[in-house]
Chain A
């Protein structure tokens, strides 16, 4: 793929546990993110989006997790970093914002102290300098009366303020890559939009590369350049936002977009209107994991491994029936 890839995931496999109870959460994900690009990872909950994202920082408990494949982020081979190199990498090169900052921030440290700790950890500067930087960060993420808010504890802030503080923490050490795991799912609709706009603005001014996980297609369209659709631990379709929205070729992507157009258009709505249920990751069927729920499925879909079919310059779908799935969509979905 592109020369200028800042994130390069190849054949990533993540398995939790072992034996018959092993959960195959990620099954061969390959993904490239170019410098300055935002890629949205979408899919139903349980499709392996968070697991993929956390692998980029190697955050899974090493004892009960087996990770295969390769991950390169800004020139670092993440899966073979030593533990001290790994902790240098986290937060400094690549950092993460979480779905629920109330849970992801330490409740007994003030928000400012956590940001200062991160800056001091990576930049080795004095507390006063770190404090000045934290203040500037709070201004950058548009937190009103930043001085007072730095001293606040996570539980003393509103949901939107907390998410802004979390973003400030993630940006504390000027990382090149930002990973966002459903950063707006826990917020009210109006606050969601503000946070999305803030992320887009920060991405532009700081030249960040972002992987944005969501199950809200609206949010993905708002911030992303490219969309990768995940199902049962695989990326089943990938392309730029326009192509995916206008001409999806994987039956799952089509179903996902239809469920959004048919149902109510609430943001953050669970995409649960596709018939059937996602497969049990401990007992994945052979062939295409979506076949049991797919209107286009044939016998051939239920065996072997399904290869990625290239459908254009940067568009691909993991499907054996792409010859029929392009037949015009009955719904017109605008991008």
Chain B
């Protein structure tokens, strides 16, 4: 088992290197001058050259890539052009905020998605199934920024129950586990949970229906298990795939929440990416993308390991 985990992690290293290469190339192949946002419009050629040397943009791309990756391995992702702060610090603070938001959203989505999925799978082709399927299709197809704005209008603007934006009192970007911060989480987490909920509900419904149609269900009934006893077996059969889908959803949400984080001004990675793109802050942009990509790779490894411990049919060789 330990060997299996080690091997999975070793496999992930070349993938991470490839990921780093791709995100570096994408950022540098995009047109536009990264210094345009920090330079005054009338900057002298002398000043431009000086700054270019300072940020290392005067060297060849392979040179830039290798010095970037070597420093990245030691945890140094360079300095943000716009804020002059360490990219590593900026990214990890944002990652922490996004991780909190995405985890809550995934948990909420997993809970309701599994609930709807099980109900729909058990009562297939009945009214309950249609209702649960309708809700989950809505979850996948409703525009999330729109849903976010509707929630803000109702619960923040009209009822004034919850704050509309930010991650803490007074727009602070530093998270703490108290109600003052938690109440900022409610609306964005619910908005974001709609995506994994829909996908998990559909997956679980299909898995449950598939499991219930198998012969071993008759075998379990024949040995005298009650409906609840059979249900436990269904859960264990469905769990590995459902958890894997949940893990991947968490991965998508870690980087894919630009719209929701922007609507709620949530100081996470999406928000950070958004500002990095608009300010052409190359070090920040490539650092954020790299960290997110590595998270995604590691999450895949984790899902793999989790799935193989839960499902005996996946070999550990």
Please give the residue numbers on chain A whose beta carbons come within 8 Å of chain B beta carbons, in ascending order.
54, 57, 59, 83-84, 87-92, 95-96, 98, 100, 103-110, 114, 117-118, 121-122, 153, 155-156, 169-170, 172-173
Contacts and interface: CB of A to CB of B under 8 A. Distances in A.
B174 interface: no
A95 B222 contact: yes
B147 to A, nearest CB: 37
A91 to B, nearest CB: 3
Contacts of B218: 54, 59, 98, 104
10 contacts: A59-B218, A59-B222, A90-B221, A91-B223, A95-B222, A100-B215, A106-B233, A114-B223, A117-B229, A121-B229
Contacts of A108: 236-237, 240, 310-313
Interface of B: 214-216, 218-227, 229, 233, 236-237, 240, 310-313
Given A83-B227, A104-B216, 13 more contacts: A57-B222, A84-B226, A87-B221, A92-B224, A98-B218, A104-B218, A107-B216, A108-B236, A108-B240, A108-B310, A117-B229, A118-B224, A172-B223
A110 B224 contact: no
Given A100-B215, A106-B216, A107-B237, A169 B221 contact: no
B310 to A, nearest CB: 8
Contacts of A98: 215, 218-219
Contacts of B221: 57, 59, 87, 90
A118 B223 contact: yes
A107 B225 contact: no
A106 B312 contact: no
B224 A105 contact: no
Contact of A95 (B223, B229, B310, B311): B223
A91 B236 contact: no
A118 B220 CA distance: 9
A155 B218 CA distance: 18
Contacts of B312: 107-108, 110, 153, 155-156
A199 to B, nearest CB: 17
A107 B233 CA distance: 10
Nearest to B234: A106
Nearest to B214: A103
Nearest to A54: B218
Q: Kindly name the residue among B216, B218, B237 whose own CB sees the greatest number of chain A CB atoms within 10 A.
A: B216
A291 B227 CA distance: 44
A87 B225 contact: yes
Contacts of A121: 223-225, 229
Nearest to B238: A108
A95 B311 CA distance: 28
A301 to B, nearest CB: 37
A169 B311 CA distance: 22
A95 B226 CA distance: 15
B229 A103 contact: no
A120 B313 CA distance: 25
Contacts of B233: 106, 109
B223 A169 contact: yes
B215 A96 contact: no
A122 B220 CA distance: 13
A114 B223 CA distance: 9
Contacts of A114: 223
Contact of A106 (B220, B222, B226): B220
A253 B218 CA distance: 31
Q: Kindly name the residue among A83, A87, A92 whose own CB sees the greatest number of chain B CB atoms within 10 A.
A: A87
Contacts of A172: 223
Contacts of B219: 96, 98, 104-106
A155 B216 contact: no
A87 B226 contact: yes
A98 B216 CA distance: 10
B216 A88 contact: no
Nearest to A84: B226
A91 B224 contact: yes
